[in-house]
């Protein structure tokens, strides 16, 4: 089912739209802090999970939770971060270093004592990156890239999760739907846009597109 900007009628794929709505639930669950509804879900389905990186399901779980778990890896893959005070971003498991992705995918031997470090844990008392600690755990290309990144600071706003599929970094169902359909990198054809701009009843424009 093609969108209008690709010459289609704009009829939505209901399965993809349902998944886009579930992705919104995933996103809000990840980023709503310790709100009541998140506490309820954690209490019912938590099972000692690290909710940012994996979800566990059982046969008895609701279909909604099973589908949330199914789409969870996609949300984890898409999510990136804007550095603030460094209290939320995981050093190894979050995507915060531009063009490099998660450091856990690059550094395969992670020291056990650093596995739960946040960005705030690699800043020294002077407010700079703690190079003495980082040189022992990160490869040189990552250290070089880190030189261009300002470190987190306690007087900054909290870290902000970003959804890169939208222009402003905010999650939208429309951008999730486009992602699921593979349209984000498809600019479309200008001729279809011009046809849609014709001042005529919708049924006439639809007829022109079809024929």
Alpha helices per DSSP H over the chain:
14-31, 36-45, 63-78, 131-134, 140-146, 173-181, 190-196, 202-210
- The count of residues in the chain is 211
Kindly calculate the radius of gyration of the chain based on its CA atoms and give it in whole angstroms: 22
For the whole model, what pTM was predicted? 0.77
**What percent of the chain is modeled with pLDDT above 70?**
80
pLDDT digits (tens, 9 = 90+) for 93-124: 999 998 898 999 898 889 999 999 999 999 99
Q: What is the 3-state secondary structure of 29-72? A: HHHCCCCHHHHHHHHHHCCCCCCCCCCCCCCCCCHHHHHHHHHH
CB 23 within 8 A of CB 71: yes
Nearest-5° Cα angle at 189, 186 to 195: 135
- Cβ neighbors of 37 (< 8 A, separation 6 or more) are none
pLDDT digits (tens, 9 = 90+) for 175-211: 999 999 887 665 555 555 665 566 767 666 666 655 5
pLDDT at 57: 87
**φ/ψ (deg, to 5) at 82:** -105, 125
């Amino acid at each position: 089912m093609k969108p209008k900007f690709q010459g289609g009628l704009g009829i939505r794929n209901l399965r993809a739209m349902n998944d886009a709505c579930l992705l919104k639930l995933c996103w809000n669950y990840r980023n709503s802090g310790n709100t009541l509804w998140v506490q309820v879900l954690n209490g019912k389905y938590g099972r000692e999970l690290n909710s940012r990186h994996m979800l566990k399901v059982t046969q008895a779980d609701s279909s909604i939770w099973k589908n949330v778990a199914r789409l969870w890896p996609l949300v984890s893959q898409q999510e990136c971060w804007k550095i603030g005070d460094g209290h939320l971003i995981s050093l190894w498991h979050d995507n915060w270093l531009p063009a490099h992705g998660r450091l856990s995918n690059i550094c395969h031997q992670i020291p056990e004592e650093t596995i739960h470090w946040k960005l705030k844990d690699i800043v020294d008392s002077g407010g700079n990156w703690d190079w003495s600690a980082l040189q022992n755990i990160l490869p040189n290309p990552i250290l070089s890239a880190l030189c261009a990144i300002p470190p987190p600071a306690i007087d900054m706003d909290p870290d902000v999760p970003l959804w890169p599929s939208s222009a402003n970094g905010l999650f939208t169902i429309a951008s999730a739907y486009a992602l699921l359909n593979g349209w984000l990198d498809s600019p479309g054809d200008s001729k279809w846009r011009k046809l849609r701009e014709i001042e005529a009843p919708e049924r006439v424009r639809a007829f022109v597109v079809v024929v």
